[in-house]
Structure 1
Amino acid sequence: MPESVTSRDGTVVGFETLGAGPPMVLVHGTGADHTRWTAVRDRLAERYRLHLVDRRGRGLSRAEAAGYDIRREGEDIAAVAEAAGGDVYLLAHSYGALCALEAVRLTNAVSRLVAYEPPRPEPGGPVVGPDARARMRAAEDPEEILEIFLREALRLAPEAVEAMRATPVWPARVAAAPTIPRELDAVEAVVFDERLAGIAIPVRLFAGTESPGYLRLAAQAVADRIPGADVVPLHGQAHQAMDFDPEQFTEAVFAFSRP
């Protein structure tokens, strides 16, 4: 069932709800929308009332205010968590995990957070080189933007990109592709600093054992700065474990639930 809230700057943030139980808010990453959870949502909904967010600029959240800033995305997620009634289990992937780290400093409605590989450049090098970012901005076909991102930011092999193309959520990824360049700009500016030390809820990072090195390093960097946080490896998986090993992924999510 589609619902919506109005964020602090007037952006309308839409989300789908399903399932029964305590509230869980799910936040997708770059080049996606709420359908990126398709492979795991039914199993998660057996234990939780899911709120599957479309981040601003896509899907149910196209009515966004001008002037993009990742801090506004944190406000969006905080608004959804508060609408969900508080005591929220927040599950966030990739760029969405960066947005979630902003959100948990703005609201008391979140009681725990799983952040799956929030990205940050390795010291001394960008996530995506300037040539690739220029090609994304010049591309007229959103599918081309998405393919450049998958190959050069996530560093997926051609066969992995083809496997993703065959999934039912590929059209939604293509539709969201125009938002990729602005999110890459934000990633390049990410700094994990002392603000993370103020996060007082339980936090767990997921990191694929086969993910690019910069993503695994970033996950550990976040865990090192949040008191009590830890990193759980997703064995044999890279940045899309929910798609390619949904059983391992959901078991890891359930393992961080309240006793």
Structure 2
Amino acid sequence: MNSHDQSIESTDGTRLVVRRLGVGDPVVLVHGSGGGLHSWAAVAEHLAHEHEVWLPARRGYGPSDVPAGTKSFRDETADLIAVTESARRSSGRPVHLVGASYGATAALHTVLADPRPVRSLAVFEPPLFAAGAEIAPPLERYRAAFDRDDAAAMAAALNDVTRVPAEVVAAIAASAGDRVPDPVEARRSAVGWLHDLEALAQDSTDISRWSSIAVPTLLMAGADTWEPMPTTMATLAATIPAARYLVWPGQSHFVTMTAPTLVADALRQFFAEAPPL
């Protein structure tokens, strides 16, 4: 399906590149760490038959701007409010806001700050356990490895944050085989991860703050994702009033890539059941 890219300016002048495709009620898909314009592509293709899909590259991830200074979730929130407002103005209709992983945390912050442009919220496995002071040591290790372009040391620092089990890390490495990452894309991802870690280090692990979210909310998770994500998601489901909680058997934290049709179908059904405008 045809798409086109446009720029949206955030409140501090940061330029955000957004990819748009499809026609219908607007959906904003927010990517996780290490992602970009491509992250939701497979899901977006399914949704675009019935929805106008907006795919922003978050600040810190090219082709959007990479501002100097330390990033925070205040920046992410301002950016997503700018994107959702643009989508709302363009269509005349409020937005279905969807986030995966770190992008889900950013979406939660955004709805808490300003729910007005948002018709519904869907989040997949936000890493709410990975925040605050405990992120500072791996952040500094990552920064040092980033400065010397040491990919292995960067990956090791990230594993301390994401808590991916060693066997999963090994399986991912084995599946990659001899393929060498594109150096430009790898560096773009590394830059984005650095800024995301900065925001996480300033954030809180307090899940109770999300209890005031009142928009229709869908929580999504994979049954095979490792702890502490399942416990985190169960706590979040008990915290947001009337949130719907969907757990996919046989899926893990990578479901948006491994089973995009499953994700798109769940989102389409959720959007269709949202209260009428």
TM range (shorter): 0.7 to 0.9
Q: Match of 2:143?
A: 137
Report the counterpart of residue 155 of structure 2 in structure 1: 147
Tell me what 1:160 maps to: 172
- Change in Cα spacing, 1:228 to 1:201, as seen in structure 2 (3 Å) is same
Larger-Rg structure: 2
Matches within 5 A, 1:130-209: 130=137, 132-139=138-145, 140-141=148-149, 143-144=151-152, 147-148=155-156, 151-152=159-160, 153=162, 155=164, 156-163=168-175, 172=185, 174-188=187-201, 189-209=203-223
Alignment of 1:224 onto 2:221: no
Mapped contact 1:23–1:87 kept (Cα < 8 A): yes
Cα 1:149/1:54, change in 2 over 3 Å:
farther
Instruction: Indicate yes or no: 2:120 matched with 1:108.
Output: no
TM-score of the aligned structures, taking structure 1 as reference length: 0.86
SS at match of 2:40: helix
Q: 1:177 Cα deviation (Å)?
A: 1.4
Q: Name the amino acid aligned to 1:62.
A: D
Match of 2:82 among 79, 88, 99: 79
Shift of 1:235: 1.6
CA contact (8 A) 1:164 1:170 kept: no
Aligned residues: percent identity? 30
Partner of 1:121: 129
How far residue 228 of structure 1 moved from its aligned partner, in angstroms, is 0.8
Give the C-alpha shift of residue 151 in structure 1. 4.5
- After superposition, give the CA deviation of every residue in 1:172-196 in whole Å (9 maximum; x if it has no partner): 4552212323423433542334432
Structure 2 residues not aligned, in runs of 5+: none
Paired position in structure 1 for 2:49: 46
CA shift, 1:135, in A, is: 3.6
Shift of 1:243: 0.9
Alignment match, 1:37: 40
**Residues 146 and 174 in structure 1, CA contact (< 8 A), matched pair in contact too:** no
Measured in 1, the distance between the counterparts of 2:173 and 2:97 equals 28
List alignment gaps of at least 5 residues for structure 1: none
Q: Cα–Cα, structure 1 residues 122 and 19, in superposed 2: closer, same or farther, change >3 Å?
A: closer
Counterpart position of 1:24: 27
Q: Counterpart amino acid of 1:82? A: E
Residue 255 (1) aligns with residue 262 (2): no
Aligned length: 257
Work out the CA distance in 2 between the residues paired with 1:169 and 1:229: 40
Letter in 2 for 1:109: P
Amino acid in structure 1 at the alignment position of 2:116: N
Equivalent position SS for 1:232: strand
Alpha-carbon separation, structure 1, partners of 2:259 and 2:55: 20
Larger CA deviation: 153-162 vs 33-42: 153-162
Aligned to 1:56: 59
Secondary structure (helix, strand or coil) at the match of 1:35 reads coil
Give me the whole-angstrom Cα distance separating, in 1, the residues matched to 2:197 and 2:185: 19
Give me the TM-score of the superposition, normalised by structure 2. Answer: 0.81
Q: Give a deviation string over 1:183-221, Cα, whole Å, max 9, x none.
A: 234335423344322211011111111112112222222
Change (3 A) 1:169 1:163: farther
Task: Tell me if structure 1 keeps the 8 A contact 2:221–2:247.
Answer: yes
